[in-house]
């Protein structure tokens, strides 16, 4: 029989950029971000659960003007403007297998 087991969760996170401006290179771009997430799960029947999530990433504009590279340069300077905004959608299906007790090989 279908279960009424359902869950809805929301979240808000902020992560600062870890790489200082002078260390940003084209191969080492680092974004600080604010992330908003909404996720839900529903168990229509045992042992199956369905889940769906949506996340929105917001990264403020980051202008790098003082990036330095090693001497001699291995990678280009990271000077420039960087911004990241994206959506991430997720869907999952889970099947729970009951643990067998008393069975031996």
Tens of pLDDT along the chain (105 residues)?
444 689 999 999 999 989 888 888 877 778 899 999 999 999 988 889 999 999 999 998 989 888 876 666 667 778 888 888 999 999 999 998 888 887 665
pLDDT at 4: 62
CA distance 50 to 44: 8
Q: How far is residue 12 from each of residues 33, 62, 69, 78, measured CA to CA in Å? A: 11, 21, 35, 29
pLDDT at 1: 43
Count of C-beta atoms within a 10 Å radius of residue 67: 20
> What's this model's pTM, rounded to 2 decimal places?
0.66
């Amino acid at each position: 029989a279908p279960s009424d087991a359902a869950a809805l969760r929301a979240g808000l996170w902020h992560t600062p950029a870890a790489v200082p401006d002078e260390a940003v290179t084209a191969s080492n771009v680092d974004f600080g971000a604010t992330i908003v997430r909404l996720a839900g799960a529903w168990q229509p029947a045992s042992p199956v659960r369905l889940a769906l999530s949506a996340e929105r990433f917001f990264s403020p504009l980051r202008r790098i003007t003082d990036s330095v590279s090693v001497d001699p340069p291995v990678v280009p300077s990271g000077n420039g403007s960087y911004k990241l905004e994206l959506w991430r959608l997720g869907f999952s299906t889970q099947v729970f297998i009951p643990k067998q007790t008393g069975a031996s090989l």
